Structure formats: C-alpha cells, structure tokens
C-alpha cells in the first residue's frame, strides 16, 4: 500500500498523529455546537437549505455504507488495492459529511423529533447509539487510516494492529452510518420534526426568522 520512509514522523508515531487529528475534529464539532467557532465561517442558511443539507448528508452516508461494505468484502477476498481505495474513499466521504454537517449546524440548526411515544423512544435509542459510535469511532478510524497510509501491505500484516483496528473501525462506523440514515428517515420522512436554530446561528443572526 504505502511506501513512506521509515523515519517519517507520522509513520513512527501513528498514535500521536491520531490523537492530534482526533482533538482537532472534536474541537471543530464541539466548538460549532457551542457557538465558539466564528459565525462568519458559516453562511446563514434558510430552513429550505437546512433541509437540503440534511438530505445530502443522508445520501452521502448511504453511499458510504456501500463503500465500507465493499471495502470489507474486498479485504476478505484479499483484494488489497480495491480495499485500500474503498477505505480512502470512505474517509473522503466522511470529510464531505463533516463539512456539510458543520455548515448545517453552524449556519442553520437542528431538528427535534415530533412523533408518538412508541416511535420516539426507539428513535432516541438509535440516535444515542449513532452519536456514541460516531464519537468513539473517530480515533479508531483515524488510526487505521494513518497506519494504512504509512505502511506497506507486508508491514501492516506483520508489524501493526491494522487488521484488528480496521475491523473495529469499519464495524463501528458502518453501524453508526446505518443508524444515522434510519434516524434521518424517522425524523424527515416517517414522522415529524420541530426546527431549532443552533447557538452559532442565533449568535450570528438572532433575527433570522427561521
């Protein structure tokens, strides 16, 4: 896979690299939710634009489910190059998702589920698992990716825990994505929702009128 020099600092310290990247990712998300990221970073979104972003995020995540499943199948068939391409593509899709998600939250807001109790509690349960897995999976996914990009196929098999970490990363992210798509369907197409402007959006445009 990779031909990175042995003295490359990222290759020598994949765990430290993972920690740094994870902290940056967490900081962006938490900062956006709390309104700490400068509001000028995000455009002021209308409710229609928030809905479009929600739909686009669901499409990207659905595609990513397929990509991860293919990557998993290809490595089981020992088709390493196809597996690597799938996993890199999956990470790029994660980045696309993150940009759209932060834009939606920072420039618009969120939707709160409105529906019967028999659907509300399963929805909350799936949403909670989705969020927890998303948080936990970040460093695992990044670690597997860093190893994959900095080590050769032989090194990955004999000198790193890439196989084990990759299995955990793929399982966690795949389940998180599936639950994310299901909760999207519950919220947007099966039941109802109530719009709540984010803290970031309210700080920037308190009278936006969404």
In order along its 210 residues, the chain shows pLDDT tens digits of: 555 677 789 999 999 999 999 999 999 988 888 878 776 788 888 889 999 999 999 999 999 999 999 999 999 999 999 999 999 999 999 999 999 999 998 888 888 998 899 999 999 999 999 999 999 999 999 999 999 999 999 999 999 999 999 999 999 999 999 999 999 999 999 998 888 876 555 544 433 333
- Give the pLDDT confidence score for residue 115 in this predicted structure: 86
- Give the pLDDT confidence score for residue 110 in this predicted structure: 83
- Give the pLDDT confidence score for residue 208 in this predicted structure: 32
**Closest alpha carbon to 17 in 144, 167, 154, 136:** 144
Lookup: tokens for 69: 């499943």
**In this predicted model, what pLDDT tens digit does every residue of 92-142 receive, in sequence order?**
999 999 999 999 988 888 889 988 999 999 999 999 999 999 999 999 999
- Give the pLDDT confidence score for residue 204 in this predicted structure: 45
Helices 80-107 and 47-76, packing angle to 10 deg: 160
Domains of the chain, earliest start first: 36-204 (1.20.120)
Q: How far apart are CA 147 and CA 75, in angstroms?
A: 15
* Neighbour count for residue 91 (Cβ, 10 Å): 19
By the 8 A CB rule, do 186 and 113 touch? yes
Q: How far apart are CA 204 and CA 36, in angstroms?
A: 11
DSSP string, 168-200: HHHHHHHHHHHHHHHHHHIIIIISEEEEEE-HH
Q: How far apart are CA 65 and CA 98, in angstroms?
A: 15
Helices 14-33 and 80-107, packing angle to 10 deg: 30
The three-class DSSP label of residue 88 is: helix
- Give the pLDDT confidence score for residue 198 in this predicted structure: 67
Lookup: tokens for 179: 């639950």
> Residue 123: what are its φ and ψ, rounded to 5°?
-60, -45
- pTM given for the model: 0.87
Interior CA angle at 80 toward 77 and 82, to 5°?
90
């Amino acid at each position: 896979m990779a031909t990175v020099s042995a003295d490359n600092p990222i290759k020598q310290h994949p765990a430290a690299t993972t920690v740094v990247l994870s902290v940056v990712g967490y900081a962006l998300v938490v900062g956006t939710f709390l309104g700490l990221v400068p509001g000028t970073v995000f455009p002021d979104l209308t409710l229609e634009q928030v809905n479009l972003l929600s739909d686009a995020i669901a499409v990207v995540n659905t595609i990513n489910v397929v990509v991860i499943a293919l990557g998993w199948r290809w490595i089981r068939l020992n088709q390493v190059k196809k597996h690597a391409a799938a996993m890199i593509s999956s990470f790029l899709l994660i980045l696309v998702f993150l940009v759209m998600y932060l834009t939606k939250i920072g420039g618009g807001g969120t939707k709160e589920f409105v529906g019967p109790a028999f659907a509300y509690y399963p929805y909350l349960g799936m949403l909670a698992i989705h969020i927890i897995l998303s948080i936990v999976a970040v460093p695992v996914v990044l670690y597997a990716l860093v190893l994959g990009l900095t080590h050769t196929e032989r090194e990955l098999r004999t000198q790193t825990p890439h196989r084990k970490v990759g299995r955990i990363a793929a399982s966690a992210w795949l389940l998180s994505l599936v639950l994310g798509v299901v909760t999207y369907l519950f919220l947007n197409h099966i039941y109802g929702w109530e719009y709540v402007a984010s803290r970031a959006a309210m700080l920037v445009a308190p009278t936006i009128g969404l």
